[in-house]
Homo-oligomer: A and B are copies of this chain.
Amino acid sequence: MNQHTRPTLDDVARAAGVSTATVSRCLNAPDRVIAPTRERVMQAVNALGYTPDFGGRALASGRTNTIGAVIPTMDNAIFARGMQAFQETLSSVGVTLLVASSGYDFDREAEQIRALAGRGADGLLLIGSARPATTYDFLRRRGIPYVLAWSLGDSADHFVGFDNRRAAEALATRVIALGHRDIAMIAGVTAMNDRAADRVEGVRAALRQAGRDPASLPIIEAPYSFEDGSNAFAALMQRVPRPTAVICGNDILAVGAIGRAKALGLRVPDDVSVTGFDNIDIAAFVEPALTTVHVPHRRMGVAAAQQLLQMIAGDTADARVEFGTEIVERGSLAAAPV
């Protein structure tokens, strides 16, 4: 039984009869080593089961090949899908992903950002642009590359996202064009969430554009769950006149709304139309299928990873990558009842 200490560069060097520098080169820049020696070294590496020590490498090189992400929560189909793509992309180039979650709380987010930066993350992925100036200050003082995703902002930061406001406006405009006059909205919680807030703004903009008073739009904010969507829908249906269309801030709320409509004996879309946002899998599967806004979550995850990798490599990356969205019309939206 040998000692249970891992082999070091030195062990490999000795075994291969070369210097530690050569072993290091074999691993990091194989072309800077002549083939025969390289072969001998690699043999020793395999024989000893050598793997480079992370701490030593990080200390000496100043890089960790690690990227951090702070998202509101993994327990949300939207981020789950995007993060999966993000992780796959990083993994394909040998970078590993550190994840942390904020629970939609600015303080927690700042705390997690600090933690990941302290963990030596070479770059950071953050969601949206709404956060205190102090957090941005920290990011910049620290000089750590970061990308803001899932939305687009006005700042000079790097964005990889789509225009939540415009997409929501387009959808609402379509609803209005179908003759709906009594429109209501079930929004995601807008506090600390620019995506949700932008979607509300988009709907208001559409109303304004149609010569209606945005202030008259009944809105209920609801957490991301079927049940909350359902309850919000029930509350909205109490209004007089009863809305003929309910625009929801995301698909989960919309599915909750449709479920409640059925329970209330209301036909969708004959009595009331319902729309969602995100186009997650379930949108195509509810009955009736959901009219929603398609968002390319996976592509965004991939693009965010590429962007970040470029920034870390020191290459000049595009300031922003904007993805288009499109309205997917399905059975849950129809012309207003006459």
- Chain A residues with CB under 8 Å of chain B are 4, 49, 51-60, 62, 64-66, 68, 73-77, 80-81, 83-84, 87-88, 91, 94, 96-101, 112, 114-120, 141, 143, 225-227, 230, 255-256, 259, 262, 281-282, 284-285, 287
Q: Is the CB of B225 within 8 A of A281?
A: yes
Q: Is the CB of A74 within 8 A of B66?
A: no
Q: Is the CB of A282 within 8 A of B281?
A: no
Q: Is the CB of B58 within 8 A of A55?
A: yes
Chain B nearest Cβ from A117, distance in angstroms: 7
Q: Is the CB of B100 within 8 A of A97?
A: yes
A289's closest neighbor in chain B, by CB?
B259
Q: Is the CB of A99 within 8 A of B99?
A: yes
| CA–CA, A96 and B73, complex, Å | 15
| CA–CA, A83 and B80, complex, Å | 11
Q: Is the CB of A75 within 8 A of B84?
A: yes
| CA–CA, A88 and B75, complex, Å | 12
Known contacts A59-B59, A226-B281, A255-B285; is-contact A80 B91 (Cβ 8 Å): no
| CA–CA, A225 and B99, complex, Å | 25
Q: Is the CB of B98 within 8 A of A96?
A: yes
The 4 closest A-B pairs by CB, nearest first: A55-B58, A54-B120, A55-B59, A75-B84
Quick one: copies of this chain in the complex? Answer: 2
- A75 touches which of B80, B96, B256 (Cβ 8 Å): B80
- A74 touches which of B54, B62, B87, B282 (Cβ 8 Å): B87
A57 cross-chain contacts in B, Cβ below 8 A: 55
- A54 touches which of B53, B119, B225, B284 (Cβ 8 Å): B119
A103's closest neighbor in chain B, by CB?
B88
- 6 further A-B contacts with Cβ under 8 Å, apart from A58-B59, A66-B119, A74-B84, are A54-B119, A66-B98, A87-B100, A88-B101, A91-B115, A96-B119
- A116 touches which of B75, B96, B227 (Cβ 8 Å): B96
A141 cross-chain contacts in B, Cβ below 8 A: 49
A81's closest neighbor in chain B, by CB?
B75
| CA–CA, A65 and B53, complex, Å | 15
| CA–CA, A4 and B81, complex, Å | 37
A76's closest neighbor in chain B, by CB?
B80
A52 cross-chain contacts in B, Cβ below 8 A: 118
A97's closest neighbor in chain B, by CB?
B99
Q: Is the CB of A55 within 8 A of B51?
A: no
Q: Is the CB of A74 within 8 A of B64?
A: no
Q: Is the CB of B87 within 8 A of A101?
A: yes
Chain B nearest Cβ from A323, distance in angstroms: 18
| CA–CA, A120 and B98, complex, Å | 12
| CA–CA, A90 and B112, complex, Å | 12
A75 cross-chain contacts in B, Cβ below 8 A: 77, 80-81, 84
A60 cross-chain contacts in B, Cβ below 8 A: 55
| CA–CA, A312 and B98, complex, Å | 19
A4's closest neighbor in chain B, by CB?
B143
| CA–CA, A98 and B96, complex, Å | 7
